[in-house]
Structure 1
Amino acid sequence: MKSLTPNAIRILYLDDEQDNLNAFKATFRREFEIYTVQSVSEATRILQEIPVHIIIADQCMPYCSGVEFLGSIINRFPEPIRVLITGFIDSEVLIDAINSGQIYRFVRKPWDEMELRNTIYNAYDSYRTTQQLKQNVAELEKTNNELSRFIYSMSHDLRSPLMSIQGVIKLANLEQSVIDPNGYLDIIGQSVHKLDEYILKVIQYYQNSKAEVINESIRFESFINELLEEFKPQNLSIDFQIDIDQPVDFIGDTFHISVILNNLISNAIKYQRMDEVAQVVNIEVKVNAAKTVISIADNGIGILNEHLDQIFKLFFRAKNTRRSGSGIGLYIVKEAMNKIGGKISVKSAPNKGTRFDISIPNRRVEEMSLCV
């Protein structure tokens, strides 16, 4: 293999007629680094050894047409720009070339030197633009990952002093060692608790975005009850009504489903009406062979109708309540649903309550089909 010329445009030209290859090389050898071959096997070998920028192929060749060749290499060698040279353009060939070979441009045979030269330079510009775009995307992904790791690390570090403040406040209240007639300690405690909730949402957002989907068997009766054990102490007056119907096994991603349910149940508790005597949260689970449908409903303050198409957006906060949230929770829910291929809908009425319905595919069907 000959050494590569720095900054040269490298072209692979496949044609079964040697005269065409000789004419192309004689015309453009001073401008470009050219590799001419007469067979598909030779072309494939060159592509494996040399980072080619542009591939030019003749359409009419024995055993393999230009469209067939360009279509066959698209997955193994996606980066080179593909040009097809043909003596005729048939509509079916044109459609096939666009769909299977992703042809950049057609050049009529016999080719015009100026037209082909312009095609090559334009193709190379397209190649460089694509490569620059890939590099920019890679740099953005790297920066985004570094920023996410920084936020995750800082969130963990911030929780430690907050926990210390909460501990001191609880100790002071238990020992009654601080005279606080104006209730400043309670105000501080509430503010620390609110900040800690926000930090936990940031950590949850990071974990949700990075976690892979791992499917496993889920028994919803124990799964839901374990989740509620964490929530019940937050509001002892709430009546949790649970209805679970699971006649078949369910395979799904435990982590993402727990993220979804944690946020929805937390909101159902948080946005109860203070003047409601019978505060209720209904959780219904219906499992079948194809999917699980989970409904979480409350009789709380509800959501304004004009807000219903906004609530899943990042940092959106409803304005009909003094108990403002972080604006992250429902966004996390939506992202988690997308990861596991689920769907979510919401119905709500101010001062009557909110109902979220989620549908999650049962991956048990996929596992069964793999075993057949």
Structure 2
Amino acid sequence: MNATTARVLYIDDEENNLHAFKASFRRQYEIYTANSAAEGLKILENISVHVIIADQKMPLMTGVEFFRSIVHTYPDPIRILLTGYTDIEALADAINHGDIYRYITKPWNDLELHNSIKNAYDAYKTKIDLRNKIAELEKTNDELNRFIYSISHELRAPLVSAMGIVNLVKMEGLFESSGEYWSLIETCSNKLDYYVQKTLQYYKNSKEISTHTSIDFKALIPSLIDLYSFTDKETCFHTDIKQDIPFYGDAFRIEVILGNLISNAIKYQKEDSINKKVDIEIQVRSTEAEITITDNGMGILNEHLEKIFTQFFKIKTNQGSGLGLFIVKEALNKIDGKISVKSNSLEGTTFKITIPNVK
């Protein structure tokens, strides 16, 4: 037998059928036979079988029952049912639940059974090939993500140094000494730092295991507002946080979610507005936290509302990286949260999210 020959296990309580099967197909396939479900299971424990054929009408356990009993422990072998009588309900149920690939009536036709085994073996190889390719893709994707994370992390060191130099120039009163050059360097450095941070957020969100800790929204929200509003002191924040009970959740992802939404609420204000404002309301309940973030900014067009959570989608203003809301949605998916959005160009945008209170 060469390495590509299909290994076939045939289970039937009638010895004559086992001998006939082996005599008919021993030249085409590597044949194993068993006269009971228990004996068939022993063979599976020691031999990697590609195709399993079982008779439906066997004592103690029918063919369908046997297939169901091994579906989790031996999911790969392709299953074919032989039946000498018509049991439409049992067959339909088995097929619908994926327990069998095909059924053949007895007495079988050698050519029909041969073609069924061949097709089943092809299906087996396709399944294994697909699994191997998925594993290779996952490995490649993981390596790519780790590479991007490493590069992004390394970029931050020289970038922070450049931003530090700009701050020193400001402190020494030389910021305007070279026209717009220092301002351009500062703008480009800030933009690059923003992209790097979003890349790191994306990587950490996709890899980090969810851990639940106590979260105090009354302390968290002001710290996030201070962090993201330092570049725009014109936007006024109003907060209404009702938290009288403990809340437990994934602190990292909740900070990522709220940080991106607060950052966007500031970033997408109308430039000529003299009344920039953001309202944040939080209601903590025993089962969940309901958070509403409303701004009176430029709003989002209806045609864009369904796309804003798509990776790299940016509106015509060309601000941002197109990753912020995508990361928000991915982070919410990780913690079983939900988000909805309402927006128009006159009143601004409202994001409403719910996050489970995990006790």
Q: TM-score under structure 2 normalisation?
A: 0.95
Structure 2 contact 215–251 (Cα < 8 Å) conserved: yes
Measure, in 1, the Cα distance between the counterparts of 2:175 and 2:68.
Answer: 78
Deviation of the 1:48 alpha carbon: 1.1
Unpaired runs of 5+ residues, structure 2, are none
The answer for the alignment partner of 2:353 in structure 1 is 358
Structure 1 contact 250–362 (Cα < 8 Å) conserved: yes
Task: Single out whichever of 249-258 and 195-204 deviates more from structure 2.
Answer: 249-258
Match of 1:159 among 138, 156, 160: 156
The answer for the alignment partner of 1:172 in structure 2 is 169
CA offsets, 1:228-272, max 9 Å, x none?
232242322322211112243323221111111110000011112
Letter in 2 for 1:180: S
Deviation of the 1:207 alpha carbon: 0.7
Deviation of the 1:90 alpha carbon: 2.0
Measure, in 2, the Cα distance between the counterparts of 1:257 and 1:178.
Answer: 37
The answer for the alignment partner of 1:97 in structure 2 is 94
Structure 1 contact 67–100 (Cα < 8 Å) conserved: no
Measure, in 1, the Cα distance between the counterparts of 2:305 and 2:239.
Answer: 25
Letter in 1 for 2:22: K
Q: Is 1:11 matched up with 2:8? A: yes
Match of 1:327 among 322, 325, 338: 322
The answer for the alignment partner of 1:255 in structure 2 is 252
The answer for the alignment partner of 1:369 in structure 2 is none
Match of 1:313 among 300, 310, 314: 310
After superposition, residues 185-334 of structure 1 pair within 5 angstroms as: 185-319=182-316, 321=317, 324-334=319-329
The answer for the alignment partner of 2:339 in structure 1 is 344
The answer for the alignment partner of 1:368 in structure 2 is none
Structure 2 contact 8–29 (Cα < 8 Å) conserved: yes
Structure 2 contact 269–297 (Cα < 8 Å) conserved: yes
Deviation of the 1:177 alpha carbon: 4.7
User: What secondary structure, in the 3-state scheme, does the structure 2 residue paired with 1:160 have?
Assistant: helix
Q: How many residues align?
A: 359
The answer for the alignment partner of 1:129 in structure 2 is 126
Structure 1 residues 12 and 204: alpha-carbon distance in aligned structure 2, compared to 1, 3 A threshold:
same
Match of 1:34 among 31, 35, 50: 31
Deviation of the 1:29 alpha carbon: 1.1
Measure, in 1, the Cα distance between the counterparts of 2:231 and 2:79.
Answer: 63
Task: Single out whichever of 236-245 and 295-304 deviates more from structure 2.
Answer: 236-245
Letter in 2 for 1:312: F
The answer for the alignment partner of 1:47 in structure 2 is 44
Deviation of the 1:353 alpha carbon: 1.4
Deviation of the 1:204 alpha carbon: 0.7
Measure, in 2, the Cα distance between the counterparts of 1:230 and 1:46.
Answer: 64
Measure, in 1, the Cα distance between the counterparts of 2:97 and 2:308.
Answer: 42
Measure, in 1, the Cα distance between the counterparts of 2:33 and 2:98.
Answer: 20
Deviation of the 1:141 alpha carbon: 0.7
The answer for the alignment partner of 1:370 in structure 2 is none
Measure, in 2, the Cα distance between the counterparts of 1:172 and 1:226.
Answer: 28
Structure 1 residues 178 and 63: alpha-carbon distance in aligned structure 2, compared to 1, 3 A threshold:
closer
Letter in 1 for 2:324: G
Structure 1 contact 70–101 (Cα < 8 Å) conserved: no
Deviation of the 1:65 alpha carbon: 0.5
Structure 1 contact 345–357 (Cα < 8 Å) conserved: yes
User: What secondary structure, in the 3-state scheme, does the structure 2 residue paired with 1:234 have?
Assistant: coil
Structure 2 contact 36–58 (Cα < 8 Å) conserved: no
Deviation of the 1:100 alpha carbon: 4.1
Measure, in 1, the Cα distance between the counterparts of 2:133 and 2:102.
Answer: 26
Match of 1:116 among 94, 113, 118: 113
Letter in 2 for 1:26: A
The percent identity for this pair of structures is: 52
Deviation of the 1:171 alpha carbon: 1.4
Spell out structure 1 runs of 4+ moving beyond 3 A: 176-179
